């Protein structure tokens, strides 16, 4: 394994991993359970430092040399994939590893078996492959999607089954960038999963969000899905309820970046961020808009109101969702402004502990609004309001250097946002 700065979590994981080859079956399984616990405590940086191409290659060799049992390696890899997606770690070392090729070969072998097919191993391998991969061969894509949707249709309400279904749907939510998944491969199944939960509440909240993420991501390639999503499955109402539920589950009084948070609350925050990110992508793609859709922004403003000051990541995602909506020309600008989105962004600007990232998103929001305002006088009034707000709060230096905040990172370079100088110079 490559050298890294070890933390308590990474050190525990690497020590347990190094002992696996010397263990019997029962000891091996116990150590893997402890490794999975260590994964849960890792942050994104720790996670990336541990799971390297070298580590995945070593797991592959251990499987081939029978130094680790296949079932035990799957038990570990399922959790690697689960936390990779949940933490948005985006580890890409699996892509070029021998383990990816090995897992893909086993999946195809299992698929072609007519007898003695181990259904559980087959489903688990598909979870591992989907949750760790970003480039999927078409044959494996079809096999894995069909397999996982079938597994996610399990309607048993035991805690064990709910957890497995959650892992399954979370894996499916990782395929947001895949193209060419025909609707006949997924639409009836994912609709059944969502509708059944709406009637019986059998899924965890993370599983439900993941089902929606998988479906809304297909909207980029199958435009007619929007009618199904909005009118048949009532996406807007479900999203509002989930945002309001998250507000109730998080202790907003504590300092989000300082306080010691338990696992349940960390998962609630992750869930809320996932909803906000998904909504931002949805707002870019949606073409149908009505009053109910506008009300969804009221819930986002509510989230922003309770999160501001303590939960910077959540606040940033709220503003990013506003930006996505304003850029979509079918969104009615007047109704969006009435719910308080622009006021929320104004409130964030004068913070004494202001962050460049947040100023970037707030000002990007104002720029997008100004592009939408048709009357020149209204546009100049909005610009003047932003400028005066900064000056009023004593941020003259920030005004002078605001162009720095309006750079974006793209393709390895910093680019100044188009028309940014006009926004402040030509008032």
Burial of 149 (0-12, 13-18, 19+ CB in 10 A): buried
What pLDDT score was predicted for residue 332? 75
166 phi, psi to nearest 5 deg: -60, -45
Contact status, residue 217 vs residue 176, Cβ threshold 8 Å: yes
- The pLDDT tens digits of the residues spanning 351-361 come to 544 566 787 78
Q: Quote the pLDDT of residue 426.
A: 39
Confidence of residue 126 (pLDDT cuts 50, 70, 90): very high
Task: Write down the pLDDT at residue 395.
Answer: 52
Q: What is the pTM of this model?
A: 0.86
**Contact partners, residue 96, CB within 8 Å, separation at least 6:** 53
| Per-residue pLDDT tens over the stretch 88-104 | 877 889 999 999 999 99
pLDDT at 213 over 90: yes
Which uninterrupted H or E stretch holds 416? strand 413-416
409 band by pLDDT with thresholds 50, 70 and 90: very low
Query: With 70 as the cut, is the pLDDT of residue 406 above it?
Result: no
Which is more confidently placed, 127 or 310? Answer: 127
**pLDDT digit string (tens) for 162-173?**
999 999 999 999
Which one is predicted more confidently, 405 or 231? Answer: 231
d(CA 352, CA 345): 15
Alpha helices in 250-355 (DSSP H): 263-285, 291-307, 312-327, 333-338, 341-348
Both structure tokens of 114: 């007519």
Average pLDDT, the chain: 83
66: left (phi over 0), alpha (psi -120 to 50) or beta: left
Contact 2, 57 (CB under 8 A): no
Give yes or no for a contact between 91 and 106, defined as CB atoms under 8 angstroms apart.
no
Around 34, how many Cα atoms within 13 Å sit in the side-chain half-sphere? Answer: 17
Q: What is the pLDDT of residue 422?
A: 52
List the chain domain ranges: 1-135, 349-427
Q: How many residues does the chain have?
A: 427
> Average of pLDDT values for 2-16?
80
Give which of 154, 221, 231 is closest to 183, Cα–Cα. 221
């Amino acid at each position: 394994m490559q050298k890294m700065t070890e933390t308590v979590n990474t050190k525990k994981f690497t020590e347990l991993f190094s002992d696996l080859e010397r263990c019997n079956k029962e000891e091996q399984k116990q150590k893997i359970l402890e490794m999975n616990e260590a994964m849960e405590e890792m942050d994104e940086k720790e996670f990336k430092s541990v799971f390297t191409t070298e580590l995945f290659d070593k797991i592959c060799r251990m499987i081939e040399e029978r130094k680790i049992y296949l079932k035990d390696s799957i038990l570990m890899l399922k959790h690697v994939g689960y936390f990779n997606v949940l933490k948005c770690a985006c580890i890409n070392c699996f892509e070029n590893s021998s383990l990816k090729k090995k897992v893909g070969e086993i999946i195809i072998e299992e698929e072609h078996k007519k007898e003695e097919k181990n259904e559980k191993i087959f489903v688990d391998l598909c979870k591992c492959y989907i949750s760790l991969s970003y480039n999927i061969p078409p044959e494996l894509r079809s096999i894995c999607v069909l397999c996982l949707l079938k597994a996610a249709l399990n309607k048993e309400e035991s805690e064990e089954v709910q957890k497995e279904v959650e892992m399954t749907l979370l894996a499916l939510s990782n395929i947001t960038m895949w193209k060419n998944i025909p609707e006949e491969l997924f639409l009836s199944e994912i609709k059944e999963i969502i509708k059944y939960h709406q009637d019986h509440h059998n899924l965890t909240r993370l599983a439900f969000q993941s089902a929606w993420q998988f479906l809304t991501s297909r909207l980029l390639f199958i435009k007619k899905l929007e009618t199904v999503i909005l009118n048949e499955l009532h996406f807007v109402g479900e999203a509002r309820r989930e945002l309001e539920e998250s507000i109730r589950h998080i202790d907003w009084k504590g300092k989000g970046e300082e306080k010691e948070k338990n696992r349940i609350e960390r998962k609630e925050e992750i869930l809320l961020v996932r909803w906000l990110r998904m909504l931002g992508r949805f707002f870019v793609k949606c073409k149908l808009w009505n009053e109910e859709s506008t009300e969804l922004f009221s819930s986002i403003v509510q989230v922003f109101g309770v999160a501001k000051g303590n939960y910077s990541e959540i606040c940033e995602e709220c503003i990013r969702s506003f930006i996505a909506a304003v850029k979509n020309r079918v969104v009615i600008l007047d109704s969006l402004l009435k719910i308080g989105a622009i006021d929320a962004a104004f409130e964030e600007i004068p913070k004494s502990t202001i962050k460049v990232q947040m100023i970037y998103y707030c000002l990007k929001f104002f720029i997008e609004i100004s592009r939408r305002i048709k009357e020149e006088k209204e546009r100049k009034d909005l610009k003047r309001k932003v400028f005066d707000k900064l000056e009023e709060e004593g941020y003259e230096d920030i005004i002078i250097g605001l162009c720095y905040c309006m750079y974006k990172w793209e393709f390895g370079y910093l680019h100044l946002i188009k028309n940014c100088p006009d926004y402040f110079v030509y008032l």
